[in-house]
Amino acid sequence: MEVVFYVAIALLALFFIDAILGIVNSIWESRLRAQRFQLEAKDLKDQLLRQEKTQVVSGSLKWKGYRRFRVSNRVMEAQDICSFYLSPLDEEAICPYEPGQHLGFKFQIPGESKHLIRTYSLSSGDPISNTYRVTIKKVPPPPGTSHPPGRGSSYFHEDLEIGSTIEVKAPAGKFCLDRHDQRPAVFIAGGIGVTPLLSMLEAICDKKIDRVCHFFHAVRNSDDHAFAQSLKELAEGNPNVSLHTYYSSPKEDSVLEDGIKTGFLSIDAIKDTVGHIEAQFYLCGPPPMMGALVPALEEAGVTSSDILLEAFGPASVKKKKDPESGDQKTDQGKLNSKTRKIHFSKSDVTVPWDGSSSILDMAEEHDVEIESSCRAGSCGTCQVKVVSGKISYEDEPSAEPDAGNCLSCVGMPEGDVEIDA
């Protein structure tokens, strides 16, 4: 009997041990499941946040005024050409932009009391890492003059380090990629004018848009050749993209890579490569290049509406005016009876309006100084007081001038006007 008793006790003990182990194992598995659920929930939350940044409705995150951004990285792309990566200080999502648009900046140069406003084209942007990229060339003093170097570009290169902050306006500008046109796209970049065109080409390649692209990049030499590797990789990775690079002043004894040509980019070279004019032409570069190529494209038969351009430098580029729009000229080349006069009161200069130029263009042609930056109605730098008369805009500008002022870079007179400049 004692043996049976002890055997029963042992079996009962084993039963309780097994039950306890089962309970412990169940608790352990529950904890593991809870941890797994927490990780899955975190992954889902991160995924939703990424989707919010990448699938946001265009413009829904656009902010008004200026927003503080931090320089998260700096990368030298070529001699005196630097890319600045910008992340918002508030860590909220950046808003999407159209390839070709620019950012507006407001900053104060040490020792100066007045803020400077400048605009620089977006060369790229990434909603996943929540960064914009602008690529800026440090502008030297004009050769043979006593003029100072570019104040805005010098500030970026000399004063902005990783960790520096700067005030930034949301992406703006109407020089954008036409995503709906299926004709070939011809991109013509001069020097640092490559930045908005690079973002357009990247968008076409990233979105796998089935569109033939010819990319022309004219630079001085290898020292100025920004994004050479990026453009090469885009061309090699997409059979629709052809890359054509021109060095106007190659360095002595330098060995040029395959495909790089020497000399200035000409309309004949463009026609020989493209083969026809049934295309959209996107141009961005310095005035000498633009002043030569834009009229040449028009003379070759490209319509004004198929030439999309953005010039940088002291003067903008004029395209032919469509016959049905604006004031017409007589056989003698003078404006008709609707001739309008612009009087710049501070400078005591009165000029007849030419029928197509902006107030700013007319001022510059007659040595009247008006500060400007974007030349697209986006930054507000060029606003001036309208003493009398009315100013109109062909397209509504994105910047809003103060009461009684106009944006001279895109404003045109409706009649005789007097400007406080």
Please indicate, yes or no, whether residues 161 and 238 belong to a single structural domain of this protein: no
Bridge partners of 12?
none
Please indicate, yes or no, whether residues 222 and 294 belong to a single structural domain of this protein: yes
Please indicate, yes or no, whether residues 390 and 277 belong to a single structural domain of this protein: no
3-state class (DSSP) for residue 110:
coil
How confident is the model at residue 140, as a pLDDT?
Answer: 85
How confident is the model at residue 324, as a pLDDT?
Answer: 46
- The C-alpha atoms of residue 378 and residue 398 are separated, in whole angstroms, by 5
How confident is the model at residue 351, as a pLDDT?
Answer: 94
Strand order in the sheet with 405-407: 349-352, 341-344, 417-419, 383-388, 405-407
Query: Which segments of the chain have a pLDDT < 70?
Result: 1-8, 10-15, 18-19, 21-22, 24-25, 28, 30, 32, 34-60, 145-147, 312-338
Yes or no: say if 360 and 372 are a contact pair by the CB < 8 Å rule: yes
How confident is the model at residue 35, as a pLDDT?
Answer: 66
For residue 60, is it within any domain?
A: no
The C-alpha angle 339, 302, 187, rounded to 5 degrees, equals 115
For residue 326, is it within any domain?
A: no
For residue 335, is it within any domain?
A: no
The C-alpha angle 248, 311, 256, rounded to 5 degrees, equals 20
- The model's pLDDT over 188-226, given as tens digits with 9 standing for 90+, comes to 999 999 999 999 999 999 999 999 999 999 999 999 999
Domain that holds residue 346: 341-419
Please indicate, yes or no, whether residues 295 and 194 belong to a single structural domain of this protein: yes
Overall domain count for the chain: 3
Yes or no: say if 401 and 411 are a contact pair by the CB < 8 Å rule: no
Task: Give Cα 326 to chain centroid, integer Å.
Answer: 30
Which residues fall within 8 angstroms of residue 7, CB to CB, at 6 or more apart? none
Please indicate, yes or no, whether residues 296 and 200 belong to a single structural domain of this protein: yes
Q: Which residue matches tokens 């006069």? A: 341
End-to-end CA distance of the chain: 120
* pTM, 2 dp: 0.74
Please indicate, yes or no, whether residues 202 and 305 belong to a single structural domain of this protein: yes
Q: How far is CA 102 from CA 122, 179, 221, 237, 354, in A?
A: 5, 18, 26, 27, 29
- The C-alpha atoms of residue 388 and residue 343 are separated, in whole angstroms, by 10
For residue 304, is it within any domain?
A: yes
Q: What is the DSSP letter of 201?
A: H
**CATH code (residue 92):** 2.40.30.10
**Helical (H) or strand (E) element with 71:** strand 66-78
Task: Give Cα 167 to chain centroid, integer Å.
Answer: 16
Task: Give Cα 298 to chain centroid, integer Å.
Answer: 26
For residue 97, is it within any domain?
A: yes
3-state class (DSSP) for residue 47:
helix
Please indicate, yes or no, whether residues 307 and 246 belong to a single structural domain of this protein: yes
How confident is the model at residue 38, as a pLDDT?
Answer: 65
Please indicate, yes or no, whether residues 160 and 194 belong to a single structural domain of this protein: no
**CATH code (residue 257):** 3.40.50.80
Count other C-beta atoms under 10 Å from residue 175's C-beta. 21
For residue 94, is it within any domain?
A: yes
Report the candidate in 308, 363, 36, 55 with the shortest Cα–Cα distance to residue 185: 308
**CATH code (residue 399):** 3.10.20.30
Please indicate, yes or no, whether residues 190 and 306 belong to a single structural domain of this protein: yes
Strands 280-285 and 185-190: parallel
For residue 302, is it within any domain?
A: yes
Strands 102-107 and 116-126: antiparallel
Give start and end residues of each alpha helix (H) in 55-186.
151-159
Report the candidate in 205, 192, 105 with the shortest Cα–Cα distance to residue 155: 105
Strands 81-88 and 66-78: antiparallel
Residue that finishes a domain, picked among 311, 331, 357 = 311
